[in-house]
Amino acid sequence: MTSTITLAQHKKNALNIVFIGNSITQGVQLADAATEAPPATAVAYLQKQKNLDAVNFSNQGHSGYTTLDFLPGTDTFTKVEQAASNFTDKDALLIFSIKLGTNDSAIQGPHGAPVSPDNYQKNLKTIVDKLLADFPKAIVIFQHPVWYSPNTYNGGKYLQEGLSRLQSYIPMIDGLVKTYATINPQHVFVGDTKAFAYFEKNHLTDLIPENGKQGTFYLHPNKKGAEALGRFWGIAIDNVVRRYF
């Protein structure tokens, strides 16, 4: 049986957000990830919105992680659920913001890579099914993956093959959300869809140049890029929660 969220369930317009992701979510290479990583900048945007009274968050981004690392039964998944349970405001609307796929798309290196589009979708559904079973009033927002340069090759091998696979994940996310609209309506949504094209266009100014095995590549946002990505996520989250607040 599904649980439909209504405004009456919340004494005030407050959010508890758990951000699930990889190094981009974690904010690697930023001087102060606690305040500069995309989750922090997303929350900074949300805190300025007049329809919201309070926003609390937990950054559960882990460098190099794939969907396999977040499957139920893993220590990482347990920590995600612990983060969700540890918020002090129990009346706030709980949101899981998920941005995974970069490492899944690699040719080799990260855990389980390369992950096929079908398995990527299957893993996401396994994660979300368990989250909603344990937190039936929560909502899940999938942020589309972010562009990386087709010569990306560091500890993992990505290249054009990986980038193409990453793009193939996007319709799998959208299709999964459509499935949930039928089996568990009003609980799973598509969030940001614009960051991929933004970073492809603005990678020289918003992504960090890194030395790789096939030259300088672009993968991780710099401070400007993290702020931009956080704003994309913040806008997307706000657009979803406005139907409740």
User: What are the DSSP calls for 144-201, one per residue?
Assistant: PP----TT-BSSSB-HHHHHHHHHHHHHHHHHHHHHHHHHSTTSEEE---SHHHHHHH
What is the β-pairing status of strands 188-190 and 139-142? Answer: parallel
pLDDT tens column, 70-98: 999 999 999 999 999 999 999 999 999 99
Residue 245: its pLDDT value, please?
A: 79
Domains of the chain: 7-241 (3.40.50.1110)
Q: What angle do CA 69, 27, 236 make, to 5 degrees?
A: 85
pLDDT tens digits along 146-162? 999 999 999 999 999 99
CA 156, 192, 106 angle in degrees (round to 5)?
Answer: 15
pTM of the model: 0.94
Q: Which two tokens stand for residue 175?
A: 């299709």
Where does residue 109 rank: exposed (0-12), middle (13-18), buried (19+ CB within 10 A)?
middle
Statement: residue 198 has pLDDT above 90? yes
Q: Has residue 3 got a pLDDT over 80?
A: no
How confident is the model at residue 24, as a pLDDT?
Answer: 98
Q: Is the peptide bond before 114 cis (omega within 30 degrees of 0)?
A: yes
pLDDT, mean of residues 107-116? 98
Give residue 243's pLDDT band: very low, low, confident or very high (50, 70, 90).
Answer: confident
Mean predicted lDDT score pLDDT of the chain: 95
Residue pLDDT, tens place only, 5-64: 333 345 579 999 999 999 999 999 999 999 999 999 999 999 999 989 999 999 999 999
pLDDT tens per residue, range 114-127: 999 999 999 999 99
φ, ψ of residue 41 to 5 degrees: the values are: -75, -30
